[in-house]
A and B are shown apart, each in its own frame.
Chain A
Amino acid sequence: MPITTQTAAGSASAPPIAPAVPSPRRRPIGHRLRDLGSRWLFLAPALAILVAVLAYPLFYTVQISFSELDLATFTPARNVGWLNYRTVLDDPGFLNSLRVTGVYLALALPLQMVLGFGIAFLLNVEWRGRGVLRSLFLIPMVVVPVVAGGVWKMLLDPMWGFVNYLLGLVGLGPVDWLADPTLAMVSLVLIDTWRWTPFVVLIASAGLMSLPGDVFEAARVDGAGWFATLRRITLPLLAPVILAAFIVRWLGAVKMFDIALAATKGGPGQATDVVNLYIYEKAFRGLEFGTASSMATLVLAITMLLTFLFLRLNRFLEKRW
């Protein structure tokens, strides 16, 4: 700590003067090793927990994915090579669940991003009561997903539900939201959007508030209109924030499970059978732990690959603007 303070102070007041304490590269090797050791010492508990609860189970899942699990002992009975993976890739239900998850992500994520940033723009403008509204926006985020799914199931009920009651007031409906395959997916997207758009609003608001005011001031002086400012300044400056929000939401959305379980149970048919729900049922209803582990591993690989691409894109955008 003193090193940083002195260096910073030195560089601020008298750049040519050498720092009082040598830089890490110039320090004696013993000092450097002690420094390195103390850093790892502080990191060790966190690393141990991470390895225990994340890495090791992950590798064990991969091991199970190549095995047949003996239910009586709950240990791998024998190695089956790539058999579980071949079974999974030959399973139309799994492929369908990937497709369903893809459709859900393609619908939900853009909608949540557009709504989230749109609402953030509105909340960023000074108007009376925006603080209250901002607080209210947080409520859906703290609702347990299973509860959210259950409550929305009631709200969307054609006979008793409030949504159809409202539609009835304007002469529409009743709409069987959860019984029609297409509408069930739409409903799932709407429920998830209701729950997670506030999260995007939060990130977007933080991003908007961190934008440099002088750039906007200069744009105004140069006579830029609202739309031109949005298109030429705000959005480019926000691009990394938008992509960061997208990545966080992508990682959250790809885990979709509870809402689908509570609202539709993956139905009607397989219309909302998202991949995590399919894996869960395969593992804990079908007791196909080997194939379920293979599915989980494949989903992990796909998720990691896509996340990597998104992160590269994010870095590219950060450098560009």
Chain B
Amino acid sequence: MHSLFRATHGTTRRALLAGGLAATVAMSLAACGSGDDDSITGGGVGTAEKPVSIRMIANDAFARQWQEQMVPEFNKAYPNIKVTIDGVPYGDLLAKEMLELTAPEPTYDIVVADDPWIPQLAKTGGLADLKGDLGAFTKSDYDWDDFNAAPLAAGEWQGKQYAVPLRSNLLLMFYNKTLYAKAGLPEPTPALTWQQYLEQAPKLVQDTNGDGKTDAWAVGTYFTRDPLTPTIWQTILNSNGGQILDDDNRPAFNTPAGVAALQTHVDLLKYAPPGAATYQFNEPLEAFRQGKTATMFMWGSVYRGTAIDPKTTTLKPEEVGIQVMPVGSLGAGAHRGMWTGAVAKKSKQAEAAWALLQWLSSKQGEKWQVNTLGVFPARKSTLSSTPEQAWLTPVFKAITDGYAAVEKGKMWRPKLPESDAIQQILATQHSLAISGQVTPAQALQNAEDEINKLLKSKGY
């Protein structure tokens, strides 16, 4: 009764807070409630007579694809689990998941989270420990050790495994072989350094049709004010041995190497198309697919739509190369960006939810997903297998190299509940530097001060 009161009380207050903010600043906020029931009920995986239903919240970029193609495949193995997947735009997903997980009876049994969100979501107490809470429901042939360490670590926080990799992703370097040839430059290799890249970049800004006007540029990537924009700088910094936070969670990026890395990112803008300062995800992708940029630093999972699918690209498979990002003093660069799946602790169908996540991240499920949907794998066995489609072979090589680089350089966003807040601070200061309002050194000093203030207020 007490917990019911607390839960209901929490619901009202959360709704009120959201409503209040909405009323005062006219924003649309939604809210639910909270509760802290620690019990995990299995709920079974359903029978023909009594099927079970589970609901998943995921990014709208792939929710529909999963609903239409993955769920029927999953139902071949588990015919009595009905799965509904709701797609939410990336920008709203974290807030919605936070509110859902703290509700007394969350709508969703499964939450699909981006790489740095797990600590923040886990801190609410709303995620089940897959190895602990749900260990009894784990299939005996589910091979944890087969995962590459870097992608599996994305779902881990404070010694507990809250999520498993469902759609792996890495920041990689795409290049247009035709534009390199027209510029008279050799195709990049994984040994390409940042210095060499920047030396070549001016030649990749070119007039390809001879009309006297520049119509192709060197690079497209994130430049706008966005939490993902600093990942480019972070990768350059990581590949030179730098880190965002040290082992004591104190800012460690405000160093000459950090400033130089940010200057490199700022310099890239000189060789980017007009308007690139506002580039986020879609814009550099479109520019590359239209043959306007010779290279693109982007999430590798866009490869299929960039090189293979004629409905979404003007490029041909043989024109597009993919590899790790250029090399710094430590090694090559990449940046981890896993979509991981977690089970809501208060789910009434936790067993069925975990069954879906296990199937999707199993050796069998992952291979199906890679070969059918072109999704990037996290398992060593998948990466060492021969893909059914030839275009995946160079992609597998880039992913394997990428995982090695990620592990070596710890190339991920800070693993703290405050990760998103830190990225936001970095994004703002980054944008100030890219738009020339402050120098890279000033931007990093400001970012360091703000992050210190934030972490201090959180008791670090």
User: Number of contacting residues on A, CB 8 A?
Assistant: 60
- Report whether A176 and B17 are in contact in the complex, using a CB–CB cutoff of 8 Å: no
- Report whether B25 and A296 are in contact in the complex, using a CB–CB cutoff of 8 Å: yes
Docked pose: A126 CA to B24 CA in angstroms: 43
With CB as the reference atom, state the residue of chain B lying closest to A255. B26
Docked pose: A73 CA to B33 CA in angstroms: 8
Interface residues on B, range: 35 or more
User: Any chain B CB within 8 A of the CB of A215?
Assistant: no
Docked pose: A59 CA to B24 CA in angstroms: 10
- Report whether B20 and A265 are in contact in the complex, using a CB–CB cutoff of 8 Å: no
**Which residues of A are at the interface with B, using a C-beta cutoff of 8 A?**
53-54, 56-62, 64, 69, 71-76, 87, 93, 153, 157-159, 161, 174, 176, 178-181, 255, 257, 261, 264-271, 273, 275-276, 279-281, 283-289, 292-293, 296-297, 299-300
User: Any chain A CB within 8 A of the CB of B125?
Assistant: yes
Q: A58-B24, A73-B36, A255-B25 are in contact. List 6 more A-B contacts (CB 8 A).
A: A64-B20, A72-B34, A75-B9, A158-B275, A267-B225, A271-B437
- Report whether A285 and B227 are in contact in the complex, using a CB–CB cutoff of 8 Å: yes
- Report whether B102 and A179 are in contact in the complex, using a CB–CB cutoff of 8 Å: no
Write out the residue numbers on chain A whose beta carbons fall within 8 Å of the beta carbon of B434. 268
Write out the residue numbers on chain A whose beta carbons fall within 8 Å of the beta carbon of B124. 71-72
Tell me, rounded to whole Å, the shortest Cβ–Cβ distance linking B232 to chain A: 15
- Report whether B25 and A265 are in contact in the complex, using a CB–CB cutoff of 8 Å: no
- Report whether B275 and A174 are in contact in the complex, using a CB–CB cutoff of 8 Å: yes
- Report whether A61 and B34 are in contact in the complex, using a CB–CB cutoff of 8 Å: no
Write out the residue numbers on chain B whose beta carbons fall within 8 Å of the beta carbon of A264. 225, 278
- Report whether A181 and B21 are in contact in the complex, using a CB–CB cutoff of 8 Å: no
Interchain CB contact (< 8 A) of A283 among B10, B21, B278, B292: B21
Write out the residue numbers on chain A whose beta carbons fall within 8 Å of the beta carbon of B123. 71-72
- Report whether B27 and A257 are in contact in the complex, using a CB–CB cutoff of 8 Å: yes
User: Any chain A CB within 8 A of the CB of B358?
Assistant: no
Tell me, rounded to whole Å, the shortest Cβ–Cβ distance linking B379 to chain A: 32
User: Any chain A CB within 8 A of the CB of B221?
Assistant: no
The winner among B18, B24, B123, B125 for most chain A CB atoms within 10 A is B24
Docked pose: A280 CA to B26 CA in angstroms: 10
Number of A-B contacts (CB under 8 A): 184
- Report whether B19 and A53 are in contact in the complex, using a CB–CB cutoff of 8 Å: yes
- Report whether A176 and B16 are in contact in the complex, using a CB–CB cutoff of 8 Å: no
Write out the residue numbers on chain B whose beta carbons fall within 8 Å of the beta carbon of A279. 21, 25, 27
Write out the residue numbers on chain B whose beta carbons fall within 8 Å of the beta carbon of A300. 24-25
Once A178-B278, A285-B421 are accepted as A-B contacts, the answer to whether A267 and B17 lie under 8 Å apart by CB is: no
Q: Identify which of B69-77, B334-342, B359-367, B424-432 touches chain A.
A: B424-432
- Report whether A72 and B102 are in contact in the complex, using a CB–CB cutoff of 8 Å: yes
Tell me, rounded to whole Å, the shortest Cβ–Cβ distance linking B420 to chain A: 5
Docked pose: A266 CA to B26 CA in angstroms: 17
- Report whether A267 and B21 are in contact in the complex, using a CB–CB cutoff of 8 Å: no
Docked pose: A266 CA to B431 CA in angstroms: 10
Interchain CB contact (< 8 A) of B428 among A59, A179, A269, A280: A269
User: Any chain A CB within 8 A of the CB of B415?
Assistant: no
Docked pose: A178 CA to B428 CA in angstroms: 15
Docked pose: A285 CA to B22 CA in angstroms: 16
Docked pose: A178 CA to B226 CA in angstroms: 14
Docked pose: A275 CA to B27 CA in angstroms: 11
- Report whether B274 and A176 are in contact in the complex, using a CB–CB cutoff of 8 Å: yes
Write out the residue numbers on chain B whose beta carbons fall within 8 Å of the beta carbon of A292. 21
User: Any chain A CB within 8 A of the CB of B348?
Assistant: no
- Report whether B10 and A61 are in contact in the complex, using a CB–CB cutoff of 8 Å: no
Per the 8 Å Cβ criterion, residues 243-287 of B in contact with A are: 273-278, 280, 283, 287
Once A174-B275, A179-B275 are accepted as A-B contacts, the answer to whether A57 and B225 lie under 8 Å apart by CB is: no
- Report whether A267 and B224 are in contact in the complex, using a CB–CB cutoff of 8 Å: yes
Q: What are 7 of the A-B contact pairs (CB < 8 Å)?
A: A58-B24, A64-B20, A71-B123, A74-B34, A178-B278, A267-B431, A268-B431
Interchain CB contact (< 8 A) of B437 among A54, A181, A281, A297: A181
Interchain CB contact (< 8 A) of A74 among B14, B21, B227, B292: B14
